[in-house]
Amino acid sequence: MYNIIVNLFLTVIISAFITPFVRRLAFVLGAVDNPNARRVNKKPMPTIGGLSLFITFSISTFVLLRNQFPTHELFGIFLAASVIILTGIVDDIRELKPRYKMIGMILAAVIIYLLAGVRMVHFYLPFVGLINLGWLSFPITIFWILAFTNAVNLIDGLDGLAAGVSMISLLTMGIIGFFFLVNTDAYVSLMAFVLVAALIGFLPYNFHPAKIFLGDTGALFLGFMIAVLSLKGLKNVTLISSIVPIVILGVPITDTIYAMLRRILNKKPISQADKHHLHHQLMQMGFTHRQTVLAIYGISLIFAFCAMLFVLSPAQGVWFLLVAVAFALEIFVESIGLMGPNRKPLLSFIRRKIQKNNHNDKVVSKMDHKIDKKNKS
């Protein structure tokens, strides 16, 4: 254990050391994010920061902690992550069309399924029992990886946002896997902690005011690794255990789902970018850049705490928690206008109920007043 802690500390140092070199490389390659209407940066900013995370992760797992991981899985994950990194680098330099990025992500997911053997093969439903997915294992695994990867990529809009949210999510996954889930291999949690260590070394360069962006290189890599590690941690998949990683990554998944709904309701293409994401809405409410990022960190910590409660709660408590989280989330989303200023069905329903109750109270009060007056006369 002492050796692992020391090597994780070295991972932080390696990440902090490598990042400035990757920053210079970004300028050489032309991986620079120039200001435009959708960007918050006011000057050209080097991207491909995720390359620093990937190099650090590779050094830590293949050199510092090489005896802690099964070789065949590690090589499979490394190869798939390499495809993701290459896709991200090309996109950060040339800005790939969405379908080409999707091809890269699908290829990486297929490598994970076939070479690393990380897949969802069965599912347990209450009152039904164990369901073998059979041929559905492949499409469900691919969909899971693509969904998580895109969710993290979508939230990468402010300095340090995607990196910090990913760090909180990975730390939570590591803690839950190591301390609470007895059927999870210890090296899965260790791999999550390696990524956390790499992010700790990287975040000082990425937090506002940033010196380097994650870029699609980093956002895709982090989302991809979170997807793979969450799949690997689900040895016996149940309805509840599959919800836990979704709750852990609650911020980007919520932002992704409501972005899709918003675009569908507004009759716009799902892939069309807009400025109505969670961080945009908070900044429109008057939050500064740094305050917005810290606020979303706080929301991510709440989701992390809820995920731990899911793991520790009995079956009846889990369903109560699920309803409570969904209700609170919808109230929050409507309060900040994530679906649009005029789309607040739950808040409108609550207001109508309150107004109706207030009206009924006024009617009762008037009747009581008339009765009192009549009795006095």
Task: Look at residue 46 and give its three-state secondary structure.
Answer: strand
What are the φ/ψ torsions at residue 183 (nearest 5 degrees)?
A: -95, 10
Nearest residue to 301 (alpha-carbon basis) of 202, 169, 139: 169
Nearest residue to 193 (alpha-carbon basis) of 212, 174, 221: 174
Could you report the per-residue pLDDT of 48-69, keeping only the tens digit for each?
Answer: 999 999 999 999 999 988 888 8
* pLDDT value of residue 371: 61
CA 1 vs CA 4, 6, 96, 182, 186: distances in Å:
5, 9, 43, 18, 12
* pLDDT value of residue 183: 57
Question: CA-CA distance, 317 to 327, in Å (whole number)?
Answer: 15
Structural tokens at position 342: 């005029």
Residues (pLDDT < 50) of the chain are none
As a whole-number percent, the residues of the chain with pLDDT over 90 amount to: 36
Residue 335 CB: number of other CB atoms within 10 A?
Answer: 13
The radius of gyration of the chain's CA atoms, rounded to the nearest angstrom, is: 24
Q: Give the predicted TM-score (pTM) of the model.
A: 0.86
Q: Delimit the domains of the chain by residue range.
A: 2-343, 344-377
Question: CA-CA distance, 199 to 365, in Å (whole number)?
Answer: 61
The DSSP secondary structure of 71-129, one letter per residue, reads: HHHHHHHHHHHHHHHHHHHHHHHH---HHHHHHHHHHHHHHIIIII-----EEEETTTE
* pLDDT value of residue 226: 93
* pLDDT value of residue 262: 78
Task: Look at residue 276 and give its three-state secondary structure.
Answer: coil
Q: Please list, in sequence order, all residues whose beta carbon lies within 8 angstroms of the beta carbon of residue 103, skipping any fewer than 6 positions away.
A: none
* pLDDT value of residue 84: 96
Asked if residue 228 lies in contact with residue 108, where contact means CB atoms within 8 angstroms, the answer is no
Alpha-carbon dihedral of residues 180, 182, 186, 190, nearest 10 degrees? -20
Q: Please list, in sequence order, all residues whose beta carbon lies within 8 angstroms of the beta carbon of residue 364, skipping any fewer than 6 positions away.
A: none
Could you report the per-residue pLDDT of 98-153, keeping only the tens digit for each?
Answer: 889 999 999 999 999 998 888 887 776 666 667 788 888 899 999 999 999 988 98
Question: CA-CA distance, 67 to 61, in Å (whole number)?
Answer: 9
Amino acid at the residue 364? V
Structural tokens at position 269: 């293409």
CA 115 to chain centre: 25
